[in-house]
Structure 1
Amino acid sequence: MSTHLAPGDKAPAFTLLDQHGNKVKLSDFKGRKVLVYFYPKADTPGCTAQSCGLRDVAGDIGDTAIVGISPDEPARQKKFDEKYSLGFPLLADTDHAVAERYGVWGEKSMYGKKYFGIIRSAFLIDESGRIAEAWYKISPKDTPVRLTQALAAG
C-alpha cells in the first residue's frame, strides 16, 4: 500500500469511466469541493449504507460534488446507481491503480483469509485540488457525518 495522503497534499489526478461509460476526471471538479470516497464493492450492505448516506446529505452540502470509486465494472456501478437512485458519479477503478495512488488498496482479512482490496476511505478535496481531509478506514455511517462536519467547520 502506498503512503497515506494528508491535508495539504495534492490529490492524485485520475480519469475513470463512470456508470454511464463517460470519462470523469478529477480536474472536472476544479473550482469546487469534491468528496472522493472509495468503497469495496457495489450493492453490498456497507457500501450501500455509505452511498445512500451520502445521497441523503447531497442536498445539504451546497456545491460540493460526491464521487464514488470502486473496482466494479461500469455496468455494475450503473445497476447500483439505478437501484438506490444515488445520482452522483460512480467510477470504475477496475485495475485499482487510482486506489493505490490514494493509499487505499491493501491487505484485508475475512474469516482468517487474507486478500487485497479497497480499504474504505474518503477524501475531501478543496477547490484547488488539494486534500482538505483524509479519512482512512472510515465506517459507512461516519462518511456523510464527517463530510457535513468538515464542510460546516470550514
Structure 2
Amino acid sequence: MTIPDVGSEAPNFTLPRDGGETLTLSDLRGHPVILYFYPKDDTSGCTQEAIEFSQLKPQFEKLGARVVGMSPDPVKKHDKFKTKHELTIDLVADEDKAVIGAYGLWVEKSMYGRKYMGVERTTFLIGPDGRIARVWQKVKVPNHAAEVLEATRGLAA
C-alpha cells in the first residue's frame, strides 16, 4: 500500500482505544483530526511525541481538532503508557496492523544492519471533510507537535 495523497479521503477505521472504548474516524467528521502513527509505547521518541501532543491538546481543542495516536501496541499497554506519562490524547490500538497498512506505513526498516517490519512515524492532518490536508513523513519528533498545531491553525482559518 502507498501513503494516501493530500486531497484523498482518509481511510476510515474503527479501533479499540485506551479506556476500553472504540474510536471511529468518520465519527470525527466536521472537525480537523491529527492522526499520528508511532512505532511503540514507552520508547524515547514515541514518549516525547505523545507528551508534546498532550501538552498542546488544549490549543488543538480550541481549534476544534482531535489528536489521535496509533500504534500496533495493545490497549492495555496504551493505558499504562497514558497513566505513566499523564498523556491526555487518544491512543488507538491497531494490533493486526490493518489500518497502519492501509495508510502505507507498515514498512521494512533497518537498525544496526538488521531488517525488520515496523511503523514509519508519520502524521496526517485530516480536514473536517475527511480528506487529508497535509502529511508529515519520517517525522523528527522535536517540535513536531508545534508544527502540526500551526498547520491546523491554517486549516481552521
Report TM bin, short chain. over 0.9
For residues 74 and 120 of structure 2, what CA distance do their matches in structure 1 show?
18
Superposition pairs of residues 1-154 of structure 1, within 5 angstroms: 2-61=1-60, 62=62, 63-154=64-155
Partner SS, residue 4 of structure 1: coil
Give the aligned CA root-mean-square deviation in angstroms: 1.1
Gaps of 5+ in 2: none
TM-score, normalisation: structure 2? 0.93
Indicate conservation of the 8 Å contact 1:122/1:143, yes or no.
Answer: no
Provide, for residues 80-103 of structure 1, a one-character-per-residue CA deviation record: whole Å limited to 9, x for no partner.
111112112100000111011111
Indicate conservation of the 8 Å contact 1:67/1:90, yes or no.
Answer: yes
Overall identity of the aligned pairs, in %: 40
TM-score, normalisation: structure 1? 0.95
Aligned amino acid, residue 33 of structure 2: V
Total equivalences in the alignment: 153
Gaps of 5+ in 1: none
Aligned amino acid, residue 52 of structure 2: G
For residues 38 and 142 of structure 1, what CA distance do their matches in structure 2 show?
16
Between 144-153 and 20-29, report the one with greater CA deviation: 144-153
Structure 1 residue runs of 4 or more that deviate by more than 6 Å after TM superposition: none
For residues 133 and 146 of structure 1, what CA distance do their matches in structure 2 show?
11
Aligned amino acid, residue 78 of structure 1: D
Aligned amino acid, residue 153 of structure 2: A
Partner SS, residue 106 of structure 1: strand
Indicate conservation of the 8 Å contact 1:40/1:118, yes or no.
Answer: yes
For residues 139 and 8 of structure 1, what CA distance do their matches in structure 2 show?
23
